[in-house]
């Protein structure tokens, strides 16, 4: 990718071969993504007839100063490149164009022909570059927002140390920040840090003054060496990490030492762990993410703490159980698991264990009275609310006379009769005292018939009582509906008779 050395090599080529010559032809590509905020025709009109005065650069940006504004500027992006026909200009992997390809290239975004026949072209295969037409590029964004140029405006050791002491970000992230220092890209940053033996994730504020001096010297040396060979990577020194940056992990080595790859500053980063090390505390804080590897392993600095913690595991587990916040279900139990029911059950179990069971059904009824009634017992539905209580209350006096064949309890009374008396004595719920629906006004005759049927059926045994009650209640409700509708049925029958006596109307033709 074009970084400071590649852009500087292009600037020097233009300065050597094109300065002082006049533009007689210009062709601008119709590509709004690259040609920024100016039409091709306006751009061409601003170039034709102008003379090239100088070529300037800051960071990765290049612009051409003409004899009058506006001036064309170039932001190289990922694959931008300057080509001069017949002149060897630096080539790099993503911008290389073969000699046998058409000229100008189909990737050309700006093409100019000079008065002596020399032709210049700016190409961009990947279309991440920007070509602008500006009145004063140095005082307008993006060039005005750049930090000091790494080559043209070098810092002193004291200045660099003071700036780094205020930054807690990893050193490579800071070097890639163009507002901090312009011109350093991914491969230059890796090479500089490798030559300075500084880990890419080392916090900038923790660098010593000696490390800052070493870093500054390596920045100058790497950039100057790259420019001296025209940014031709094949001529870079053999001991540079640059030559192994694009190899696969496990197969990348420099001077016999293994190269690892991590992500720093959002970019793939090559470094040599054997030479570029972090101290224990800094390695925990930095937490570099190895490329292609998971981070499920524990950090080395936590091993001692784990061993100490294992000794106190039982105590810690008990404390954790106590300190755990209770869930909603534990704090607010729902449904029929309330405390009153649990108490009732425990009282019944205690009485059974103490041997206080007399074997009588009356005692069981008393225990049932103590238990909280369910919703269905408290809120009976339909027209079986009040009639059922009345039928049982009327039928209870006759039970002692009719049930002569039943079993008696220890006191000499009939067990079933005692049950009915207990039920009759129970306090009636409010909804039983105020029943709703049609069952409120039942005829007296119907009630007497139901009570007679009740007394006759109960003489057959205790097991038939429940069934007879349900059957009588059903009959009672049916009779109540019939008697309630008798008056309505008479009036309805008269209306039907009158309606049938009418003659059908004849349809209009």
Q: Which strands make up the sheet holding 52-58, listed edge to edge?
A: 52-58, 61-66, 71-75, 130-134
- Among 1.10.8.50, 3.40.350.10, 3.90.220.20, 1.10.287.3510, name the CATH number for the domain at 157-295: 1.10.8.50
Cβ atoms of residues 263 and 271 within 8 Å: no
Q: pLDDT at position 86, please? A: 83
Ranges in the chain annotated CATH 3.20.190.10: 4-143
Instruction: List the pLDDT tens digit at each of the 509 positions of the chain.
Output: 789 999 999 999 999 999 999 999 999 999 999 999 999 999 999 999 999 999 999 999 999 999 999 999 999 999 999 999 888 776 655 555 666 778 899 999 999 999 999 999 999 999 999 999 999 999 999 999 999 999 999 999 999 999 999 999 999 999 999 999 999 999 999 999 999 999 999 999 999 999 999 999 999 999 999 999 999 999 999 999 999 998 999 999 999 999 999 999 999 999 999 999 987 565 545 554 455 443 333 343 444 434 444 333 333 333 443 344 444 454 454 554 445 444 444 444 444 444 444 444 444 444 455 555 444 544 545 544 454 444 444 444 444 444 434 443 444 444 444 455 555 555 555 555 555 555 444 444 445 444 454 444 444 444 444 444 555 545 555 555 655 555 555 565 565 555 555 555 655 54
Angle between helices 303-311 and 313-323 (to 10 degrees): 80
Pick the catalytic residue: 2, 72, 170, 200? 2
User: What does the alpha-carbon distance between residue 482 and residue 62 come to, in Å, rounded to a whole number?
Assistant: 104
Q: What span, in angstroms and rounded, lies between the C-alpha atoms of 341 and 43?
A: 90
Q: Are 104 and 121 in contact (CB under 8 A)?
A: yes
CA–CA dist 36, 42 (Å, integer)? 12
Q: Where do the CATH 1.10.8.50 domains begin and end in the chain?
A: 157-295
27 bridge partner residues: 111
454 is catalytic: no
Active site annotation includes 2: yes
Distance of CA 414 to the CA centre of its chain: 73
**Cα end-to-end span (Å), the chain:** 96
List, in sequence order, every beta strand (DSSP E) within 85-223: 108-114, 119-124, 130-134
The pLDDT value given to residue 98? 66
Q: pLDDT value at position 298? A: 39
Tell me the three state secondary structure of residue 204.
helix
pLDDT of residue 110: 97
Round to whole Å and give the CA distance between 130 and 62.
Answer: 11
* Neighbour tally for 376: CB within 10 Å: 8
CA atoms within 13 A on the CB side of 409: 15
137 φ, ψ (degrees, to nearest 5): -55, -35
Question: 86 — phi, psi (to 5°)?
Answer: 85, 0
Contacts of 233 (CB under 8 A, 6+ apart): 92, 242, 243
User: Would you give the distance in Å from CA 195 to the centre of its chain?
Assistant: 41
Which candidate in 5, 8, 50, 60 is catalytic? 60
CATH of span 4-143: 3.20.190.10
224 counts as catalytic: no
């Amino acid at each position: 990718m074009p970084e400071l050395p590649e852009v500087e090599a292009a600037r020097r080529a233009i300065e050597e071969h094109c300065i002082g010559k006049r533009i007689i032809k210009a062709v601008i590509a119709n590509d709004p993504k690259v040609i920024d905020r100016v039409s091709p025709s306006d751009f061409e009109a601003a170039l034709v007839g102008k003379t090239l005065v100088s070529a300037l650069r800051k960071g990765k940006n290049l612009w051409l100063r003409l004899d009058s504004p506006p001036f064309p500027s170039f932001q190289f992006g990922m694959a931008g490149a300057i080509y001069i026909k017949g002149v060897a200009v630096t080539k790099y992997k993503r911008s290389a164009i073969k000699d046998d390809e058409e000229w100008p290239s189909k990737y050309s975004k700006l093409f100019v022909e000079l008065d002596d026949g020399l032709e210049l072209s700016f190409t961009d295969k990947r279309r991440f570059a920007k070509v602008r037409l500006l009145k004063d590029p140095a005082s307008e964004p993006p060039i005005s927002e750049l930090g000091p140029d790494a080559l043209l405006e070098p810092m002193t050791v004291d200045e660099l140390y003071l700036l780094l002491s205020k930054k807690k970000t990893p050193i490579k992230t800071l070097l890639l920040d163009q507002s901090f220092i312009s011109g350093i890209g991914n491969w230059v940053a890796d090479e500089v840090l490798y030559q300075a033996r500084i880990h890419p994730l080392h916090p900038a504020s923790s660098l010593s003054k000696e490390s800052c001096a070493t870093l500054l010297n390596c920045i100058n040396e790497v950039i100057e060496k790259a420019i001296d060979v025209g940014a031709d990577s094949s001529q870079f020194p053999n001991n540079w990490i640059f030559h192994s940056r694009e190899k696969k992990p496990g197969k990348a080595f420099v001077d016999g030492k293994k190269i690892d790859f991590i992500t720093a500053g959002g970019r793939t980063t090559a470094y040599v762990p054997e030479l570029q090390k972090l101290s224990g505390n800094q390695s925990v804080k930095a937490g570099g993410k190895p490329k292609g590897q998971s981070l499920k392993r524990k950090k080395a600095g936590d091993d001692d703490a784990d061993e100490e913690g294992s000794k106190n595991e039982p105590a810690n587990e008990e404390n954790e159980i106590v300190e755990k916040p209770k869930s909603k279900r534990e704090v607010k139990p729902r449904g029929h698991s309330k405390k009153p029911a649990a108490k009732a059950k425990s009282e019944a179990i205690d009485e059974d264990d103490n041997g206080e069971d007399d074997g009588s059904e009356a005692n069981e009824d008393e225990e049932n009275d103590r238990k909280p009634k369910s919703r269905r017992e408290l809120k009976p539905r339909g027209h079986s609310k009040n009639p059922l209580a009345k039928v049982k209350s009327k039928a209870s006096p006759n039970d002692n006379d009719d049930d002569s064949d039943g079993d008696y309890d220890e006191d000499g009374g009939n067990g079933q009769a005692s049950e009915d008396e207990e039920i009759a004595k129970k306090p009636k719920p409010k909804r039983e005292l105020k029943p709703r629906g049609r069952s409120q006004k039942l005829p007296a005759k119907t009630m007497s018939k139901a009570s007679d049927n009740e007394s006759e059926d109960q003489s057959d045994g205790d097991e038939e009582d429940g069934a007879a009650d349900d059957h009588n209640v059903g009959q009672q409700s049916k009779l109540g509906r019939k008697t309630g509708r008798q008056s309505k049925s008479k009036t309805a029958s008269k209306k039907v008779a009158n309606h049938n006596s009418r003659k059908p109307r004849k349809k209009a033709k």
